[in-house]
Structure 1
Amino acid sequence: MVTTSTPHINPKGVDIAETILLPGDPLRAKFIAETYLDDIRCFNEVRNILGFTGTYRGRPVSVMGTGMGIPSISLYSYELIHFFGVKNLIRVGTCGAMQANMNLYDVVIAQGASTNSNYLHQFNLPGFWAPLSSYRLLEQAKRIADNRSQRTHVGNVLSSDLFYGADPDAMTKWMKMGILAVEMESAGLFANAAAAGVDALGIFTVSDHLITNAETTAAERQTAFTAMIEIALELV
Structure 2
Amino acid sequence: MKETLTNANFPQDAEGHVYHIHVKRGQVANRILTVGDHLRARAIAKHLDHIDFEHSSQRGFLTITGRYKDIPVSIMAIGMGNPMMDFLVRETRAVVDGDIAIIRFGSCGSLTERAPPGSVIVPKGGYCIRRNIDYFCDTPLHSGIQDMPYLISGTFAADPGMTELLEQTLTKAMAEHQEDIKIGPVIGGGLNADGCSFYSAQGRLDPQFWDDNTQVIDTALASHPTTDALEMETSMLFHLAHCSKGTVRAAGCMQVFADRVHNGFIRPEVVAVLEPLVGKAVLDALVLVEIEAMNEVGTVWEKKMKV
- Fold-level similarity (TM above 0.5): yes
Query: Take 2:158 and 2:24, find their aligned partners in 1: how far apart are those partners?
Result: 31
Corresponding residue number in structure 2 for 1:190: 238
After the TM superposition, which residues 86-235 of structure 1 pair with which residues of structure 2 at under 5 Å, given as runs? 87-117=100-130, 129-148=154-173, 149=175, 151-154=185-188, 155-165=190-200, 166=211, 167-176=213-222, 177-196=225-244, 197=246, 198-216=248-266, 224-235=274-285
The structure that is helix-richer by fraction is 1
Counterpart of 1:36 in 2: which secondary structure?
coil
Query: Take 1:82 and 1:217, find their aligned partners in 2: how far apart are those partners?
Result: 40
Deviation of the 1:180 alpha carbon: 0.2
Task: State TM-score, norm by structure 2.
Answer: 0.67
Deviation of the 1:211 alpha carbon: 1.1
**219-228 or 165-174, which deviates more:** 219-228
**Are residues 1:49 and 2:61 paired?**
yes
Query: Take 1:132 and 1:13, find their aligned partners in 2: how far apart are those partners?
Result: 28
Counterpart of 2:240 in 1: which secondary structure?
helix
Corresponding residue number in structure 2 for 1:9: 21
Structure 1 residues without counterparts, runs of 5 or longer? 119-127
Counterpart of 2:59 in 1: which secondary structure?
helix
User: CA 1:30 to 1:223, structure 2 compared with 1: closer, same or farther past 3 Å?
Assistant: farther
Count of paired positions: 224
Query: Take 1:101 and 1:9, find their aligned partners in 2: how far apart are those partners?
Result: 37
Counterpart of 2:165 in 1: which secondary structure?
helix
User: CA 1:164 to 1:116, structure 2 compared with 1: closer, same or farther past 3 Å?
Assistant: same
Which has more radius of gyration?
A: 2
What amino acid maps onto 1:162 in structure 2? S
What amino acid maps onto 1:116 in structure 2? I
Query: Take 1:77 and 1:222, find their aligned partners in 2: how far apart are those partners?
Result: 29
Counterpart of 1:60 in 2: which secondary structure?
strand
User: CA 1:185 to 1:211, structure 2 compared with 1: closer, same or farther past 3 Å?
Assistant: same
Superposed CA deviations along residues 112-157 of structure 1, whole A, max 9, x for unmatched, are 1111138xxxxxxxxx641111111011112223333352111101
Counterpart of 2:39 in 1: which secondary structure?
helix
**69-78 or 214-223, which deviates more:** 214-223
User: CA 1:224 to 1:62, structure 2 compared with 1: closer, same or farther past 3 Å?
Assistant: same
Deviation of the 1:74 alpha carbon: 1.1
Query: Take 1:113 and 1:174, find their aligned partners in 2: how far apart are those partners?
Result: 12
After the TM superposition, which residues 52-91 of structure 1 pair with which residues of structure 2 at under 5 Å, given as runs? 52-85=64-97, 87-91=100-104
What amino acid maps onto 1:170 in structure 2? V
Deviation of the 1:181 alpha carbon: 0.9
User: CA 1:70 to 1:218, structure 2 compared with 1: closer, same or farther past 3 Å?
Assistant: farther
Query: Take 1:157 and 1:19, find their aligned partners in 2: how far apart are those partners?
Result: 22
Moved over 4 A (4+): 217-224
User: CA 1:183 to 1:60, structure 2 compared with 1: closer, same or farther past 3 Å?
Assistant: same
Query: Take 1:157 and 1:147, find their aligned partners in 2: how far apart are those partners?
Result: 22
Deviation of the 1:28 alpha carbon: 1.8
What amino acid maps onto 1:22 in structure 2? T
Contact 1:30–1:50 (Cα < 8 Å) also in 2? no
Counterpart of 2:124 in 1: which secondary structure?
strand
Counterpart of 1:180 in 2: which secondary structure?
strand
Corresponding residue number in structure 2 for 1:27: 39
What amino acid maps onto 2:35 in structure 1? P
Deviation of the 1:49 alpha carbon: 1.4
